[in-house]
Structure 1
């Protein structure tokens, strides 16, 4: 008989898990330390990302850049390809894998959420959630203040209008805007 999965293993597998867990909390604290260093470094010293944050990220390709006042939950689930860019104030709640393709640009205050809370109010009150990945293709432009919800994929070369709430997948080359985001033009 195999041992039961840890809450971290359930999180990484996309299963329902309890986010109030000592191992998961330790991972969050490591990320918070790296984010604090990143956000308090002088921009010239930070370069693409602060040293602790760059080391923590799952992938941080050459010439990728994360501006200050950034926040993430774990860091190791974030994968940024060549020349990917996050402007000031981006928030990535990366309980699952987040891929940001080459040359994709995220405007100020873009938010990416992977946590999907339980629909049952009792389980939600017990902090039961699951983690759904987010994929942003290459050459994507996401306008400031947009929110990308759990499980969404955005195709290559797509444009997401500022302030949009993206609840569903966006096809390659599409332009979407609104709340919820819909194909425009």
Structure 2
């Protein structure tokens, strides 16, 4: 019922409820936390959301490290964020629906050990300010996406994307640079 209240009152009630339900996470002023947030913080982990962020329906966050999200960043529905070490997302980003951002991959080189028992390779992810990640983009470990970049729908980002770049494809590659108007 609380998740269906609309307008400013509804947003404030949902934010109050999120702060009660997830006391170890920090939600900035006027965050809009929609229904279905799944947030798991391991011991010593932190998740910080700047003011006026929008966390749309069914966002899943698994964090045993540090997650930092800048002010006014918007997440579409059904996104997944996983931070074993560190995921930093800048201000004013648009993260479309069904985006996956992870700072780790499973190790799988040894045939004599089950994959689930081989651990993970971890490297921090940094997404700059004013970045737009299109629908179903996947961002993998160790990637840095520069300020003002745009990543097209369904792209898989496996290496750094420079500031002001437009990148598409699997793996994502830069197809052009954005210019001042």
For normalisation by structure 2, the TM-score amounts to 0.72
Corresponding residue pairs, total: 146
1:172 corresponds to: 163
1:41 to partner: Cα distance: 5.5
Contact kept, 8 Å, 1:131 with 1:150, in 2: the verdict is yes
Q: Deviations over 1:80-133 (max 9, x none)?
A: 111111111110111121111000110001001222222423273414113211
The whole-number CA distance in structure 1 between the counterparts of 2:17 and 2:78 is 14
Structure 1: runs of 5 or more not aligned: 1-39
Does 2:172 match 1:181?
yes
Unpaired segments ≥5 residues, structure 2: 5-9, 26-45, 177-181
Q: Which residue of 2 aligns with 1:116?
A: 105
What corresponds to 1:50 in structure 2?
Answer: 18
Structure 2 CA distance for partners of 1:174 and 1:146, relative to 1, 3 Å: same
Higher helix share: 1
Farther off after superposition, 112-121 or 149-158: 112-121
Higher strand share: 2
Task: State TM-score, norm by structure 1.
Answer: 0.71
Give the 3 Å change call, closer, same or farther, for CA 161–84 of structure 1 in structure 2: same
Which structure is higher in RCO with an 8 Å CA cutoff and minimum separation 6? Answer: 1
Which residue in the other structure is 2:70 paired with?
Answer: 81
Dislocated runs of 4+, deviation >3 Å: 52-55
Q: Does 1:102 pair with 2:91?
A: yes
CA 1:129–1:75: 2 relative to 1, 3 Å = closer
CA distance in 2, matches of 1:92, 1:55: 17
